[in-house]
Structure formats: C-alpha cells, structure tokens
Amino acid sequence: MRIGVISDTHNHLPNVARMVELLNAARVDRVIHTGDITQPKTLHVLSGLEAPVFGVYGNNDLEREGLEEAAAAHGFVLADPPLELLWSERRIVVTHDPREIESVTLAAGDVAIHGHNHQLVIEERGGALVFNPGECAGHRVGYNAVGIVDLRTRRPEILRF
C-alpha cells in the first residue's frame, strides 16, 4: 500500500490543487494530512483526490466546526492527534507537532508521520520510520513537496513542485 502524505497546507489553494494532481498521478491508495488545514475550503479542494483522506488537526485549525462539517461531507477522517492507524499490517502514528511523537511508544516497523515545522524529516528511531514531507504550501516554486510512503518497504519518496 502506498500512502500520500501532506502537511501544513495553510489554505494555499493553488498548491493544494497541485498536490491533488500529483497524488492522483502517483496512484496512492490513501492520503494522510498532518494538520494545519486552516479552512474548510482546503478540504473541498482535497475532495478531488482519488484516495480516501485521513488526518489530524493542527495548531492552526481554529475553524474546527467548519472543518468537521467539510470532512464529514467528503467522507474524510480527521481526529485530534495522535491518530493511530493499522494498514497493511503496519502501525502508523499521525501527529501534527513532532513533539507529540514523544508521547507514543514506537516499535520497530512502525511509521510515525508529522508536520508542523515545514522541514523534511526522514529518520529511523528504534526501527520506526519518522517522516515529515517538509514544505507543502509555501510560495517558492520547487521548494514544495508531498510525500509517498510505501508501507511494504517503509521507503519514503518526495515529489517536489
């Protein structure tokens, strides 16, 4: 199973539309958003994804009621972090702030995904992969990225735009 990873979209709708194009072209099976969606209209753009969306709320997701309504309307699953998922016999822990990962016990083979700091992170911690795709919704072309993680290999891929 291949999962797309996006974070900190901050309502930058042209970049969100580009993320949808990239992830659809990559034929990911599911998409994870690590928070800081900001406004419901971002979720409306993400509804163009051909894969189901799961994610967590971030510190800038202040329009909570509107985000919850938009998520429900599009069948997205959004929760307070940490969100734990079990896909393809692999445990995935999703947080917004990387410090939230410290409150979770990770085991070898787990995948921990976060956002918040807009910095690319690909590291191993006790046999667990910790991943942040980095800047997703900035204004500088070529510095934005979405991630893809193959759950079989736990090998992340970065798609820059």
The pLDDT value recorded for residue 148 is: 98
CA quadruple 24, 14, 64, 93: dihedral positive or negative?
positive
**In this model, does residue 124 exceed pLDDT 90?**
yes
Q: What is the pLDDT of residue 141?
A: 86
Domains and CATH numbers, the chain: 2-160 (3.60.21.10)
Is the pTM higher than 0.75? The answer reads yes
- Provide the token pair at 91: 């445990």
The string of pLDDT tens digits covering residues 95-108 is 999 999 999 999 99
> Averaged over 1-30, what is the pLDDT?
98
